[in-house]
């Protein structure tokens, strides 16, 4: 008997006889559902891109990461999880803005500089971009500057 590695749609859309033949008689399933999965993938991606473009500020543009298109970043240094439709948190390391992905940490400041030749500076970012950046790792001097200028 084969191991059951069937999707919900395969279980629902195949008859009991088809499932029996698949499991015990080594017959192929009549409904594989692969076409639907491809459509669903395209749908979530397009829905996420639509959501993100609605969230962009005036003049802000985006690009997806080449190694994982579930994530995107913007010219103002925002990091987006497209699959979950949310902005990921970033951290301030010195005056450099850094982020994390599954493959490790990266410098958002360098990424934006190399893509759009924009120098990201925490001190000049709009409030809605600056506010979610975690500053707990910042130096004492930088924390004092933030307190004096933005609180």
Residue 1 pLDDT > 50: no
Tell me the mean pLDDT in the region 118-141: 90
CATH topology (fold) of 58-150? Homing Intron 3 (I-Ppo) Encoded Endonuclease; Chain A (3.90.75)
Q: Are 129 and 121 in contact (CB under 8 A)?
A: no
Give the pLDDT of residue 41: 55
Pick 116 or 140 by higher pLDDT.
116
Q: So where are the chain's domains?
A: 58-150
How far lies 71's CA from each of 48, 81, 111, in Å? 10, 5, 13
- Grade residue 35 by pLDDT with cuts at 50, 70 and 90: low
H-helix or E-strand spanning residue 72: strand 71-74
Maximum alpha-carbon separation in the chain: 74
- Grade residue 42 by pLDDT with cuts at 50, 70 and 90: low
- Grade residue 133 by pLDDT with cuts at 50, 70 and 90: very high
């Amino acid at each position: 008997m084969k191991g059951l590695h069937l999707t919900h749609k395969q279980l629902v859309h195949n008859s009991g006889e088809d499932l029996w033949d698949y499991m015990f008689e080594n017959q192929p399933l009549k409904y594989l559902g692969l076409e639907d999965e491809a459509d669903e993938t395209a749908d979530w991606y397009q829905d996420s891109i639509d959501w993100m473009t609605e969230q962009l500020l005036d003049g802000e543009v985006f690009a997806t990461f080449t190694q994982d298109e579930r994530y995107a970043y913007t010219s103002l240094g925002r990091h987006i999880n497209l699959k979950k439709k949310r902005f990921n948190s970033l951290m301030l390391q010195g005056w450099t803005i850094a982020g994390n992905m599954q493959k490790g940490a990266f410098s958002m400041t360098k990424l934006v500089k190399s893509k759009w030749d924009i120098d990201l500076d925490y001190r000049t970012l709009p409030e809605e971009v600056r506010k979610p950046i975690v500053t707990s790792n910042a130096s004492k001097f930088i924390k004092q500057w933030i307190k004096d200028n933005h609180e």
